[in-house]
Amino acid sequence: MNKAELLQLLRDPDICKEIFEIVKKGGKPVVEPTKFTSIGDKLKHMYPNTVATQQQPQSAQPTSTPSTPKPKLVVDPAKIPPSKPEEPQSFSSIADKLKFLRGHVHKVEEERLAAEVAAQLTEAARPAVEKFTVVTSKHCPICERTFRVVKPKMRLNVEKRDLDYCVHYKDFDPYLYTIFACEHCGFAAEEKKFSSAIPNKTKGILREFLTENDMSLPFIEDRTVEDALNFFELAILFSELTDQSKGRQAMLKQNAAWLCRCEGLHDREHEFMEQAAEDFAVALDNERWPINGITLEMAMYLCAATHFMLEDYNKATVWLGKIMNKSTLRTSAPKLFEQARDMWQDIKRATKE
């Protein structure tokens, strides 16, 4: 592209705005979450080379090959075709024409400098991931191979804690790396799953599924929010495929909501919180606790806190009532009892307003 074509391209305010927004977001456009109806659909969307065949019944009839999902849009200014040339502007004198051209050149230069400054500010505001993390190795219980993981390497400074135990940190968001993912076989889960024993039957199911679907994953040291959410989705899918624990899925979705909250994605945070609240309710009625180190009383509190933050005060009150009615809670878990009592007072104040 020559200089004249580039100048013509930069005259289009929509293209300039889109390029500026992409630069401001760190070079990647925001992609709205896609709704899926099956595990196979999610896997095919996140990894186009994956063909989730295990969940589909064999049929003698020929089936059409599903279309490859459209790649994520990344605008490259060098590949954008030039916009339609504007009609030549008439001038009464050479001096007027010169004045117009000089003003336009200055305007384009100002826009270019503004974009460069925005890019520099974005880069300066985003700390280098190497400063807060370290790459180490982990053993995969599914494929029995060693893979690389990224973990925080220092004690992080805490800014605040929310009612549902979400911790806000300064400078760095460790929720980006909550989920470990084996780059060889594609198994993704929270760290505890890689350290605890997995039943042989579950290993067999996962090995067969991952082998048939060629689920090897790229190692990503500097994860984006979208990368981290994809790994959360994979961990949830593998839970649905094997242990089917609503309690575990609730905690995974709650952690995904914390990530969205810390990154300012409030719509997606709200979706994950609603899903987590539903799964907590089912698990509390049907599953045995503790799950992943979370006691029954703590799970009740988390369910109440999630409903409270969703401003569903009636359901929050129901779960708080179940906690407060436990006569031994005041002595067995005094801190939890105080937190539940404080939330009860918050609900009273909120419902009076």
Burial profile 40-79: b = 16 or more Cβ within 10 angstroms, e = fewer: bbbbbebbeebbbeeeeeeeeeeeeeeeeeeeeeeeeeee
Report pLDDT digits (tens) over 246-288. 999 999 999 999 999 999 999 999 999 999 999 999 999 999 9
31-73 pLDDT, tens digit per residue, is 455 565 655 566 666 655 544 334 444 444 444 444 444 444 4
> CB-hemisphere CA count at 13 Å for 317?
11
Domain boundaries, the chain: 1-50+96-126, 127-245
Q: How confident is the model at residue 218 (pLDDT cuts 50, 70, 90)?
A: confident
Comparing 89 with 227, the larger pLDDT belongs to: 227
pLDDT of residue 80 exceeding 50, the answer is: no
What is the pTM for the complete model shown?
Answer: 0.66
What count of other Cβ atoms lies within 10 Å of the Cβ of residue 99?
12
pLDDT band at 328 (very low <50, low <70, confident <90, very high): confident
- Pairwise pLDDT comparison (292 vs 316), residue with the higher score: 316
